């Protein structure tokens, strides 16, 4: 069984402040956060191994800034039974999916922009993106990564993070999804957290449970044809994308990409 572990950083137990996720700032809090992050990934790897996984690839999807972007894991502390990817651009790595992957596990995810009880909630950018829709359905980064996996027929069986992202993921992917909440948001930058040890135990058990039933969740497909709509917070951020082939500006804050399938529509924005 081939398992893809896709991870972010804001959904880790104990992480509630930007300083803990910002590599560019060089704060000691970030390097402490990296340790917490790596150990939650290791918990998912252990759970996958218990369920019979024979190949496990981890992809860090956290844009920490500078050379830390998509590179926040601590290699020497990773479980030796996995391999890990350091990518240059977000959603760039697809080889494992293209070769055939049985299931994806999402670890340490956060809720989409505007979620009141979402710890460090945002979509792609903490400041620039206000709303993202796939064929009229509001989604966050869980939806983006699920669509990426679904483009190659890989189902998402597990999502871990705070209460808000677990709720968001279940609404999008269905009740067959296994979720593990490691904290409850009290505000955007405050939470009631499980201790790291308890969070890791829960993630390990959740990963094993999720993989015990590969047919619990179908691969996510936003629909065909696909329209991706992004609303930005300020007009200046629109400039970064509006001149790309296949991208249409519909008003001062909104861009749309349309194509026969999600991956093509997404690629028009980013590649």
| Residue 259, pLDDT score | 97
Question: What's the rounded Cα separation, in Å, for the pair 252 and 235?
Answer: 6
Query: By C-alpha distance, which of 103, 97, 81 is closest to 1?
Result: 103
Per-residue pLDDT of the chain (271 residues), as tens digits, is 999 999 999 999 999 999 999 998 878 999 999 999 999 999 999 999 999 999 999 999 999 999 999 999 999 999 999 999 999 988 999 999 999 999 999 999 999 999 999 999 999 987 789 999 999 999 999 999 999 999 999 999 999 999 999 999 999 999 999 999 999 999 999 999 999 999 999 999 999 999 999 999 999 999 999 999 999 999 988 988 888 889 999 999 999 999 999 999 999 998 8
- 168: part of which helix (H) or strand (E)? helix 163-173
Question: What's the rounded Cα separation, in Å, for the pair 86 and 82?
Answer: 13
Residue 177 dihedral angles phi and psi, to the nearest 5° = -65, 135
Task: Provide the whole-model pTM.
Answer: 0.97
User: How far from 103 is each of 139, 203, 214, CA to CA, in Å?
Assistant: 21, 16, 7
Domain boundaries, the chain: 2-130+137-211, 226-270
Residue 136 dihedral angles phi and psi, to the nearest 5° = 85, -5
**Topology annotation, domain 2-130+137-211:** Rossmann fold (3.40.50)
């Amino acid at each position: 069984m081939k398992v893809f572990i896709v991870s972010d950083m804001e959904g880790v137990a104990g992480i509630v402040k930007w300083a803990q996720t910002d590599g560019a700032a060089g704060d000691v809090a970030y390097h402490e956060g990296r340790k917490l992050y790596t150990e939650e990934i290791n918990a998912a790897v252990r759970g996958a191994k218990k369920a019979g996984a024979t190949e496990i690839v981890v992809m860090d999807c956290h844009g920490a800034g500078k050379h830390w972007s998509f590179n926040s894991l601590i290699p020497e502390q990773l479980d030796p039974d996995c391999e890990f990817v350091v990518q240059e651009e977000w959603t760039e790595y697809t080889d494992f999916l293209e070769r055939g992957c049985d299931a994806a596990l999402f670890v340490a995810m956060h809720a989409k922009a505007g979620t009141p009880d979402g710890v460090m909630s945002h979509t792609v950018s903490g400041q620039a993106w206000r709303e993202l829709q796939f064929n009229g359905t509001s989604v966050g980064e869980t939806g983006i990564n699920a669509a990426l996996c679904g483009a190659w027929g890989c189902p998402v069986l597990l999502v871990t993070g705070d209460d808000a992202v677990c709720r968001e993921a279940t609404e999008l992917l269905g009740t067959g999804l296994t979720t593990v909440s490691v904290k409850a948001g009290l505000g955007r930058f405050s939470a009631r957290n499980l201790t790291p040890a308890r969070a890791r135990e829960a993630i390990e058990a959740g990963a094993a449970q999720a993989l015990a039933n590969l047919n619990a969740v179908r691969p996510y497909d936003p629909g065909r044809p696909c329209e991706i709509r992004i609303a930005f917070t300020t007009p200046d951020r629109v400039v970064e994308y509006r001149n790309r082939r296949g991208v249409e500006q519909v008003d001062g804050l909104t861009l749309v990409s349309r194509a026969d399938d999600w991956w093509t529509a997404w690629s028009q924005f980013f590649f």
